[in-house]
Amino acid sequence: MIQRRCRSASRNAGPARSGFSIIELTVALTLVSIIAAMAIPRLNYERYRADAAMRSVKTVLQGAERNAIMRQTNIVVNFDEANRRMEILEDANNNCVLDGGERLTSRPLEDGARFGLPASPYPATAPSTAVSGPNLCTMNGYPAVQFLRDGAASTDADIYVTSSRGLPEDYRLVRVIQASGRAESYRSDGSSWTRYN
């Protein structure tokens, strides 16, 4: 009887447990880390920073246009290039100046991004600064775009942003169309500009 129990126990034990040995796991992790180390330098973080700055500028401009229509008051967005930020003013009396009772908010550019003028700007334009337009107003000494109560802008405007390294392929453009107040974005590949949604 004792012998039967031993034999049946050995039969039920089955084959050895399947799984990975520590050596197999070490080899697999080593291969994954080698592949990751080769891929990481190929990622262009500066491009992502420039894209984030472009989206930030476009979002602020779209929000200003929407608020001008909803609140039925002019909204002014100025561009402080030195401090890498935008200021948004709810301009109740339409004078492009911060007066008592008017609300001013500030929005910085993303880390690692700045306003900057490319060597090859958008075709058929000749800007002299990173923020340009034929009829820009000024607020606090900075160039500004005013959005009117009907959603139109006070002027056509071009706002250029780039990464901190400022290579030609890192430049981005947000264009404001005066008649509609619409903001359009573009990317540079170093030699040409393409529309970006």
Instruction: Output the pLDDT for position 5.
Output: 52
Percent of the chain with pLDDT over 70: 88
Is residue 26 domain-resident?
no
Mean pLDDT for 171-179 is 96
Strand partners, 44: none
**Parallel, antiparallel or unpaired: strands 157-163 and 172-176:** antiparallel
CA distance 138 to 155: 12
pLDDT at 19 over 90: no
Mean pLDDT for 38-59 is 84
Is residue 102 domain-resident?
yes
CA distance 28 to 6: 39
CA distance 96 to 137: 7
Is residue 7 domain-resident?
no
Here the tokens at position 73 are 């008051």
CA distance 99 to 48: 37
Would the pTM of this model clear 0.85, i.e. be above it? no
Is residue 37 domain-resident?
no
Here the tokens at position 39 are 């891929």
Q: What is the pLDDT of residues 31-46, one digit of tens each?
A: 999 988 877 666 678 8
Q: What is the pLDDT of residues 59-82, one digit of tens each?
A: 999 999 999 999 999 999 999 999
Mean pLDDT for 80-104 is 91
- Looking at every residue in the chain, the average pLDDT score rounds to 88
Structural domain boundaries, residue 169: 45-196
Total domains in the fold of the chain: 1
CA distance 42 to 62: 33
pLDDT at 121 over 90: yes
Is residue 145 domain-resident?
yes
**Parallel, antiparallel or unpaired: strands 142-147 and 113-115:** unpaired
CATH code of residue 116 = 3.55.40.10
Is residue 2 domain-resident?
no
pLDDT at 115 over 70: yes
Is residue 62 domain-resident?
yes
Is residue 10 domain-resident?
no
Instruction: Output the pLDDT for position 93.
Output: 87
